[in-house]
Structure 1
Amino acid sequence: MRRYRWFLMSLVLIGLVAAEAAAAQEQPGTTSTTTQRQRAPGVPLAPNANEAQKTMPQGERAGNATERDRLARNRGGPPEPNREVPMPKPVPSIIAP
């Protein structure tokens, strides 16, 4: 029984040493200093700053969007406290007889 314990302890010790040595080795395909993500062919790794700052063509939709944004910013403050608040319409019950 005593030999069996020593045998198991030596196996565990050898396994720990082997695992530590395997973890210390660097993987052949990876580099730890520079990691570059690969993307699809034709897709740049970083966006082009000049392309991102291009102005969009001014069309009817773009004009409507800017007008809507301008009106939203120019709205007044909170509504008056003494105004009449519209009451919501009643909704019929689903469980109505």
Structure 2
Amino acid sequence: MLTLDITDIQSRQAVVTHIHQQFGALDALVNNAGFGDVGPIETMPIQTAENPFQVNVFGLIALTQLVLPEMRKRGKGTVINLSSIAGRFVTPGAGW
């Protein structure tokens, strides 16, 4: 089991490097990290609103950018992006 902080460039690089050293190649990436905070938008600190975007959007993009060039070079690999069911229903306080 490897631990990865999706928001940290060094953590992402260390895990990908470890996988390449241990296994030679990465055949699949499953982007499944995600979370959200809820609360009244008028009192939510902007940093609290930014944190989910760092994980759910920018972390996914950064990790994909890290592994995709090697997958393309080898001519194989799969990237799977999982989303949240939260978009399928209304949650009070989740207006952003």
TM-score by length of 1: 0.23
Higher strand share: 2
Please, what TM-score do these two structures have when normalized by structure 2? 0.23
